[in-house]
């Protein structure tokens, strides 16, 4: 499968043993898309904070040990573990604070009052918590035998000099900003931002600010797409809502493809549409049209668009269904992970998925994967469970607003009784 080109698949679908565009399992569609993704290669150097959500273009090596000196993990007293058996009484020779070391070393029978982060004085290898000693003048006595070498953070135990701290292909998160700052590094090399252009298609669409005529709906897909793309940290190019008009659609499609790495459209890929998008995509690119065995979100198109000779550039194309819930479901099931790959991330993790008890009955048809909208909640017995949001129609966008997860029901699953174990994909923080 890997060696087959897009144009081969499109011109001769039967060249692939088990390829049926009219009944495409979810996992297979994902796998297909994966083999054609070519990540961005251009890089830029950014100040550390601006790298949040971007993908590292080069390994970051540790220029030092972190921590770079042995220090105390507790407020207490630092001493040599050899003294544990010899003496229960130690003389306090001075203090070591974080940022203010005790410069002299200590001898047998001596200790130093030390605070968390304070540098271990020479001659000391163990810290006893202050709560485990009795202080008598400038002497301390253990109230509990300490463990040798306890409560010390050793140089290099977090990061070792010269080792890879974060590898190229890693997406920067909050902890990573701190980690890189802890090395004293202020700039990092990342892949350039992915540019994503999108537009809605449909004669019935009205944009916000204009009164609705009879038979019109406000274009909501451009808003959910904006939200989802924004969370991914890509550069967004909103091309508007375009009527089902061949010339207008062609102009918009080519303009989108010449400006962006990825073009996303919603609507116009289902059966019974005026077929303009299909015509245009056949003329300007190689695009596969599928009926995916899923609900919501049956029609889906993926491929590449040539944006004209002068640019010599192919844009990835995702044709999403028009129904508002289907747009979001197909985005999370196919586009999100593909986008992370295109942004340069190595092996992006799928949405976190686990099994929980569902507290209500579920209606489900076999033969397709359903992504019902669910609410994960902590039940009175303290266990996390899930219940469906209610009506599950593909146009009921309020179900996505209520939901904090998808309830993923495989092709083989049918109706379920309350109490059944179901798989959920967590959405909180994504939508
Ligand atoms: P389509 O896939 O174009 O046949 O659209 C399927 C359904 O989704 C129709 O009811 C459309 O009115 C609706 N729809 C399509 N695009 C949008 C949009 N951008 N915003 C809201 N609803 C839409
Ligand atoms: Mg339409």
How far is Cα 431 from Cα 412, in angstroms, rounded to an integer? Answer: 28
- Mean pLDDT value of segment 297-322: 86
pLDDT of residue 398: 94
pLDDT tens, 325-334? 999 999 999 9
Residue ranges of the domains in the chain?
Answer: 6-41+193-342, 43-65+157-191, 71-153, 353-426
- Hey, which of 198, 199, 202 would you mutate to test ligand 1's pocket, going by the most ligand atoms within 8 Å of its Cβ? 202
**Looking at ligand 1, which residue's alpha carbon is closest to its atom 6?**
322
More confidently predicted of 87 and 59: 59
Beta strands in 115-234 (DSSP E): 126-129, 133-136, 139-142, 152-153, 164-166, 187-191, 195-201, 205-206, 217-218
pLDDT of residue 268: 86
pLDDT tens, 335-391? 999 999 999 999 998 888 999 999 999 999 999 999 999 999 999 999 999 999 999
pLDDT of residue 4: 76
**Looking at ligand 1, which residue's alpha carbon is closest to its atom 3?**
267
**Is any ligand 1 atom within 6 A of the Cβ of residue 204?**
yes
pLDDT of residue 177: 97
Closest-lying ligand 1 atom to the alpha carbon of residue 273: 4
How far is Cα 256 from Cα 5, in angstroms, rounded to an integer? Answer: 23
- Mean pLDDT value of segment 309-336: 90
List CB contacts of 317: < 8 A, sequence separation 6 or more.
Answer: 257, 262, 263, 264, 265, 281, 285, 287, 301, 302, 303, 304, 305
Mean pLDDT for the chain overall: 93
31-45, 106-120, 209-223, 304-318, range with the lowest pLDDT: 304-318
How far is Cα 190 from Cα 45, in angstroms, rounded to an integer? Answer: 6
**Is any ligand 1 atom within 6 A of the Cβ of residue 221?**
yes
CATH T-level assignment (fold) for domain 43-65+157-191 = Molybdopterin biosynthesis moea protein, domain 2 (3.90.105)
* CB of 345 closer than 8 Å to CB of 171: yes
**Looking at ligand 1, which residue's alpha carbon is closest to its atom 16?**
322
Give the pLDDT band (50/70/90) at residue 273. Answer: low
- Is 309's pLDDT higher than 90? no
**Is any ligand 1 atom within 6 A of the Cβ of residue 202?**
yes
pLDDT tens, 150-201? 999 999 999 999 999 999 999 999 999 999 999 999 999 999 999 999 999 9
**HEC secondary structure over 284-322:** HEEEEEEEECEECCCEEEEEEEECCCCCCCEEEEEEECC
pLDDT tens, 109-149? 999 999 999 999 999 999 999 999 999 999 999 988 889 99
Domain 6-41+193-342, CATH number (from 2.60.40.10, 3.30.360.10, 3.40.470.10, 3.40.980.10): 3.40.980.10
Architecture, CATH, for domain 353-426: Beta Barrel (2.40)
pLDDT of residue 8: 86
**Is any ligand 1 atom within 6 A of the Cβ of residue 275?**
no
List CB contacts of 272: < 8 A, sequence separation 6 or more.
Answer: none
pLDDT of residue 1: 46
How far is Cα 196 from Cα 46, in angstroms, rounded to an integer? Answer: 21
Distance 127 CA to ligand 1 centre (A): 67
The model carries a pTM of 0.89
pLDDT tens, 46-84? 999 999 999 999 999 999 999 999 999 999 999 999 998
The domain made up of 71-153 is a member of CATH 3.40.50.620? no
More confidently predicted of 197 and 18: 197
DSSP-derived letter for residue 68 is S
Residue 234: closest CA among 171, 192, 177: 192
pLDDT of residue 372: 97
**Is any ligand 1 atom within 6 A of the Cβ of residue 268?**
yes
pLDDT of residue 119: 97
- Which residues does residue 10 pair with via DSSP β-bridges, in sequence order? none
pLDDT of residue 146: 85
Give the pLDDT band (50/70/90) at residue 29. Answer: very high
Please check whether the two domains, 6-41+193-342 and 43-65+157-191, share a CATH topology. no
Residue 51: closest CA among 166, 158, 163, 162: 166
């Amino acid at each position: 499968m890997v060696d087959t080109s897009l144009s081969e698949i499109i011109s001769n679908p039967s060249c692939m043993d088990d390829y049926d565009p009219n009944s495409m399992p979810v996992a297979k569609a994902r796998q297909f898309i994966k083999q054609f993704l070519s990540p961005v290669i251009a890089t830029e150097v950014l100040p550390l904070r601006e790298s949040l959500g971007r993908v590292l273009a080069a390994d970051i090596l540790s220029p030092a040990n972190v921590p770079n000196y042995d220090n105390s993990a507790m407020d207490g007293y630092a001493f040599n573990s050899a003294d544990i058996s010899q003496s229960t009484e130690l003389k306090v020779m001075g203090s070591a604070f974080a940022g203010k070391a005790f410069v002299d070393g200590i001898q047998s029978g001596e200790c130093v009052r030390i605070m968390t982060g304070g540098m271990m004085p020479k001659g000391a290898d163990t810290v006893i918590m202050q709560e485990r000693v009795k202080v008598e003048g400038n002497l301390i006595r253990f109230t509990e035998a300490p463990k040798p070498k306890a409560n010390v953070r050793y140089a290099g135990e977090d990061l070792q000099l010269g080792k890879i701290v974060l590898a190229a292909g890693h997406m920067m998160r909050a902890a990573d900003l701190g980690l890189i700052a802890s090395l004293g590094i202020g700039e990092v090399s990342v892949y350039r931002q992915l540019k994503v252009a999108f537009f809605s298609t449909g004669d019935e669409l009205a944009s916000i600010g204009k009164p609705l005529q009879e038979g019109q709906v406000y274009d909501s897909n451009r808003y959910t797409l904006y939200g989802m793309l924004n969370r991914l940290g890509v550069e967004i190019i909103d091309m508007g809502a375009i009527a089902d008009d061949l010339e207008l659609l062609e102009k918009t499609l080519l303009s989108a493809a010449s400006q962006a790495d990825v073009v996303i459209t919603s609507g116009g890929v289902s059966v019974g549409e005026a077929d303009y998008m299909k015509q245009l995509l056949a003329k300007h690119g190689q695009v596969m049209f599928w009926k995916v065995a899923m609900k919501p979100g049956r029609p889906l198109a993926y491929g590449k668009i040539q944006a004209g000779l002068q640019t010599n550039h192919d844009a990835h194309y995702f044709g999403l269904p028009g129904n508002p819930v289907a747009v979001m479901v197909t985005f999370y099931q196919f586009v999100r992970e593909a986008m992370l790959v295109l942004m340069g991330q190595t092996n992006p993790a799928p949405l976190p998925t686990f099994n929980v008890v569902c507290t209500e009955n579920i209606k489900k048809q076999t033969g397709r994967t359903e992504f019902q909208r669910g609410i994960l909640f902590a039940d009175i017995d303290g266990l996390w469970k899930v219940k469906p949001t209610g009506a599950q129609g593909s146009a009921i966008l309020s179900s996505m607003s209520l939901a904090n997860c998808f309830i993923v029901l495989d092709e083989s699953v049918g109706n379920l009784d309350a109490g059944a174990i179901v798989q959920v994909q967590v959405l909180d923080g994504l939508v």
